[in-house]
Amino acid sequence: MDITTQPALETVREILGQCGLPADDIEPGFLACFVVAREGDRDLGVAGCQVFGASALIRSVSVRPDVQKRGTGAQLLAAVERVAVARGATKLFLLTHDAQDFFARHGYVAVSRCAAPAEIQGCGQFGSACCGAATFMAKDVGG
């Protein structure tokens, strides 16, 4: 399996759709901070982030249902964390409805939404209706 950057918008939307995640707010400009896992010519999963200075919102960590439980999600998460750090992030945040245990195994801890920096609170995903009841998690990665 290879992990590469900047997947096609159609790939991101297709995989997110298969995983039941919203994709309507993914814009072409976001793709520079997305990664894709490929095996041969098949895209297996995607992950992305939005970087706001020292803070980054990890989003859309998704693996096609038929290839889950093979470590692909962990590899995608590690790759997108590297993207965020390379762009200056020292604190990572995310919202999840059902993957708290997965993210906890990778160093994220649940925190109050009130603890979110203003730039994270101001981004579209943080305020979206689909994420209103999601668990907010954070991870320090330096600085």
- For 76-111, the pLDDT digits (tens) are 999 999 999 999 999 999 999 889 999 999 999 999
Nearest CA among 16, 89, 21 for reference residue 50: 89
Backbone region of residue 74 per phi and psi (left: phi > 0; alpha: psi in -120 to 50; beta: other values): alpha
- Residue ranges of the domains in the chain? 2-140
- Considering only residues 140 and 124, tell me which one the structure prediction assigns the higher pLDDT: 140
Backbone region of residue 131 per phi and psi (left: phi > 0; alpha: psi in -120 to 50; beta: other values): alpha
State both tokens at 141.
Answer: 């990665």
Would you identify the CATH topology of the domain 2-140?
Answer: Aminopeptidase (3.40.630)
Greatest distance between any 2 Cα atoms in the chain = 43
**Confidence (pTM):** 0.92
